[in-house]
Structure 1
Amino acid sequence: MNAPSSLSPAASTPTRQGRAGARLTLTLAALAMLGPFSIDSIFPAFTRIGAEFGADEVALQQLVSVYLAAFAVMSVFHGPLSDALGRKKVMIGGLVIYLIGMFGSIIAPSLGSLVLLRVLQGMSAGAATIVSRVVIRDLFEGPEAQRLMARVMMIFALAPAIAPVIGGWLLLLGDWRWAFAGVGLYGILVLVLTMALPETLPPEDRTPLRIRSLLGSLVQVGRSPVMLRIAAATAFGFAAQFLFIAGASLFVVRLLGMGEQDFWVLFVPLIVGLMSGSWLVGRVAERVRRSRLITVGFFAVVAATAVNLVLVSFVPGPPGELSLALLPAVIGPLLIAFAVSLVFAPIQLEVLDLFPRQRGAAASLGTFFSLVLNALLAGLIAPLVSGTLVSFALASLCFALLGLGFWTWHLRSQT
């Protein structure tokens, strides 16, 4: 699918032929994993942070929501900046600022200062995660771009599962500050890997570094009805799964009655679903048309959320311990993650291909809607719908239906 010619001038950036190597794949995956590590690894520390600062569940959720809100606001600028300065400079600069915020959290004297440092982390983390997706499309096109995006997604899927587990292990070493220190060390590793990446946007293909030019590219991308429909479909479809991640502490501790070492009960099924779906996306890259795969994925998300709603209706109450009673509560998230992963990689490429000369701006705005919704999920929606497993599942189903609705609208507008 291509946008109208007035919105999609031909790109002159050369793409690499052949296949992506393991080193490039692992580096891009490490960049993508920075976001989940920043969010999920601190979930097990919530109880201790709350005890030290006298904060309740709602206040602690703001450690996630302010991070996501800052990520969303700054994500609008990371992409256009990479169109002007080059991909590598923006990613490295963002990582340096991110590390300052992460290690600063170790000495935070109050919850308020910790929240402010989370804002700094959110403002800078997107430079790595968003721009890394643009690098994929800079280097590859067609089926190979989809395969690489899917492989990155497979490795990326490890992060939501292992981050809270690692966070729990780090707490065995001491107080909640160890969780932030661990993520900071991971950030240093990512910075080293990023410095070894090649620059994928030649100087002759960059946009002028002027405020008017940067804002102009955002306006041009943001005025596209096609872009807005796809971005909305992406945001709501992904929210069907991200609700479980944003509200992980509520889901695991309150609704399942588990402890701070038990987040794997939710995240292991999520990783199995995400990796399985991403593997399938890579396998069918040359066999199934991209728009058809996305359509199948959205219908699968609706079906999975509906099955999840039925399953949790049979859970009488918080099991509180590992038992067969947990199965109905965790099978649904696995199915939802599988279905969402069918959509994620191909729809990212749909967005990037709309604006070949402004891929950074397209990636930023394509991500912005999802990030704003994610922030609302963490700070407002997840606490509101976490009364029961049924209300949690019903919210996930509603998001899936909205995602399918916007994607259907997009398809009909193209005919």
Structure 2
Amino acid sequence: MTDRPMGFDTLCIHAATAPDPATGARQVPIYQTTAYVFRDADHAAKLFNLQEVGYIYSRLTNPTVSALANRVVALEGGAGGIACSSGHAAQIMALFPIMAPGRNVVASTRLYGGTIQQFSNTIRKFGWSAKFVDFDDPKAIEAAIDGDTRALFCETICNPGGAISDLDAIARVADMAGIPLIVDNTTASPYLCRPIEHGATLVVHSATKYLTGNGTVTGGIVVDSGKFNWSASDKFPSLSQPEPAYHGLVFHPTLGNMAFTFHSIAIGLRDLGMTMNPQGAHYTLMGIETLALRMQRHVENAQIVAEWLEQDPRIGKVTYPGLKSSAYHHLAQKITPKGPGALFTFSVKGGYEACVKLIDNVKLFSHVANLGDTRSLIIHSASTTHRQLSEEAQIKAGAAPDVVRVSIGIENVEDIIADLDQALAKATA
């Protein structure tokens, strides 16, 4: 290899995974071990003091899990990152070093229903809170920020409706407020968008989805851009001031652009225990090897299916940003130029009951609470993933009662359309 930067497809296969130095194994081994033997007492002390990088205990770091985190860091163009037990864990891990009791996060109304629930209720048990605003309106975001706001949070491609976030505009608001922008890039994957290039500070993923791609793993990733100055104000004392949870270490002045990552490992994973297992990390590494190929096919199929649905008289509206009729079509060309993903919704004439009948009559599609699988997936969000929300909140989130969400897979596109066609015939008869 020359010194030229590797292409994305090459990084998917080679980034952060050199042959195993002990055995020469070409694929990343599964290091199924709890602990690691220290060379001597001095070596152990240096590891615990963060003076030397290495392995202590697999709740903190594990070679297989670290390889996964480092590969996604390379794909996202970040400085450091961690892998953890789920996408929801990744969200908590992203907030943990920067939040404190009484602090809040300003979040988009267009989020996965489980995230809205986590931010509305669960994080209150930490003394945190969330304000939900329309992230299509930068002035509304700016107005929601107060002296206790510590982050902005949005999704690149919003789940379930497929709306595109104007990351550049949102990042400018975050910069003016001196707070980080956290972007959930799950539904885009780094193949379609690298949020750090649009001004994001932190990127989170549910590795369960497109990164793994085959419905076998529950996992999460947090990637730090390494570009945020945590010491520019007194808003982030866990990073800029002596941290009592780690014998007074001042993370940012000491560790620079790796401060957030080391805090997440040394304190976040140590105390919250949201650890990814080595076997799950191995599955995700193998999935990432074909990420570029899969995403190309996902997008191609989604465009064809969306265009077919838009012309069908049984359908009310299709939200796919790849359609010229979408309000997000122009923005998608800027934020996701390779295509706006494969997740979108469509409304069925006949309302709630017709949606339920459609779900009950698909054959190729799988009715599951997941997305980003190689298989085509379908769900009625209002009665499942967004069931806990009011109808008003469902509509704001793009999950109205007459809407179904689809995640278009990589099967033969004619088979996908044929399945939807026969199920719609029964649903609207």
Using the size of structure 1 for normalisation, the TM-score is: 0.28
**Which structure has the highest strand share of the two?**
2
Q: Which structure has greater helix proportion?
A: 1
The structure with higher relative contact order (CA 8 Å, sep 6+) is 1
Q: Which has the larger radius of gyration?
A: 2
